[in-house]
Structure 1
């Protein structure tokens, strides 16, 4: 009995002693991935560069917790080049902001390995290619902001698996095809921006399921058919911009609640809703932002 207890104690002691070493080893692997990112994106020319001879936890825009990189914020830092596939090694990463840089190339498929990621901001770059088909596996995502790039292809149906998503802004890209009906299953969605793409077809009636949706910006596409009558269920809508499309019927607009509207634009000249409290510039594109307004600590996103 004593021998068994002692054996168990030694096993637990050995496990506890190795934990710090494991954390260090893991951080070393993630450090290598950071160095790869640095080299692939012209790190020596960044506005705020890294001293590779110092610990990674001291590098600009990097936050480490329990031996893992949990935050990487290099907003407006003069990054060039392409994202390396090693970006997928940051398995504990919660916040990634590489927006307002000059990144090119395509999104590596390894990006979908970031299963802890809550915030993904890559807007105002020159990224092309398509959204990863398996983006739906990133179920922790709360925000995906990639406006003003050159992303093409169709919207992946797997986006509907992102049940925690609150913001999806893919405006000013080269997206084509139809809006998948699966978007209507993202019940927490508050902002949907698809302005200025090449989207076609009818609006899915499932969008009427988005009871928390506040901003819906679909202007400057080639969408057609009728505005779904289910738009009458958009109880939280504040901003609706659907102008410069090819809709044949606007009857769905007359079913919509308008008490919370702050901005509205369509090609139907008959529908004139009363705005909530004041008149607002109707030419404003609500989804196009040119500043980093999401620079808080990642703990604020919990």
Structure 2
């Protein structure tokens, strides 16, 4: 460990003349990210003999790193705690790699972050309870990992969130009622976990919601009447759960849906049978390298 620290210190100081004027802490964080994720084996590695502003996926504005996009770049290893030194980071895209280990708690210190994309990795452990500190976050996508534990209640404090996709993990517990505070939310994906309890009635507060995907869990009770309030909902999937009643679906406007999937054998309601594959919802729907401009 001592030799590693000496190496990193010498490397950072040797790169200062190429740092595009970014602070030493930011340069150190980049170097440690490169080392911790086996940067020499990346598909497109960083050329550390050039100015940091030319490094693949790194965007520098006014002397600070504001974006890191290493989508599908063969990253392995873990995300280092020092990621929190990138205080001006607005977008962090590490999706579609082979990252392991736990999400560092320090990630909640990136208070300016708007986009956090971690999907299609092998990250384990729980989401930090302090995740709600990311009050500027508009997209959190972490589907297809090995995340466990419950979804923290503090997530309801992320009032600007538009996309929340935690599908295909191992989350348990219930859907937090605090999600009802995310009035800007357009996409909520919790597909294929082990979530129990009921759909909270607070879901009716999400007037901008377009996609609600809760299939393949252990959710029970009845579908709340408040779902009928979601006039912008286009995709609604709740099949393969343990619901006791679908009676309240009679109050929804069938014509508003592009996709409506539930266990139709338990109900006499004759909705259109329009299927949607697992791969689209859980894997490929968000497969892109650059976040949308409005996210």
Give me the TM-score of the superposition, normalised by structure 1: 0.86
Q: Provide Cα deviations, 1:263-284, integer angstroms capped at 9, x if missing partner.
A: 111013322335xxxx743445
Q: How many residues align?
A: 274
Q: Distance in 2 between matches of 1:96 and 1:63?
A: 11
Aligned position for 2:248: 252
Alignment of 1:1-302 (within 5 A): 26-269=22-265, 270-274=268-272, 280-284=274-278, 286-290=280-284, 292-293=287-288, 295=290, 300-301=293-294
- Aligned-pair distance for 1:26? 4.7
Which 5+ residue runs of structure 1 have no aligned equivalent?
A: 1-22
Question: 1:223-272: per-residue Cα shift (whole Å, max 9, x none)?
Answer: 00111011111111100110000000112211222332001110133223
Point out the more displaced range, 47-56 or 82-91.
47-56
Residue 129 of structure 1 aligns to a residue in which SS?
strand
CA distance in 2, matches of 1:284, 1:116: 33
Partner of residue 13, structure 1: none
The answer on whether the counterparts of 1:264 and 1:282 sit within 8 Å (CA) in structure 2 is no
Say what the alpha-carbon RMSD is for the aligned residues.
1.8
**Structure showing greater Rg:** 1
TM-score (norm 2): 0.88
Query: How far off is 1:212 after superposition?
Result: 0.8
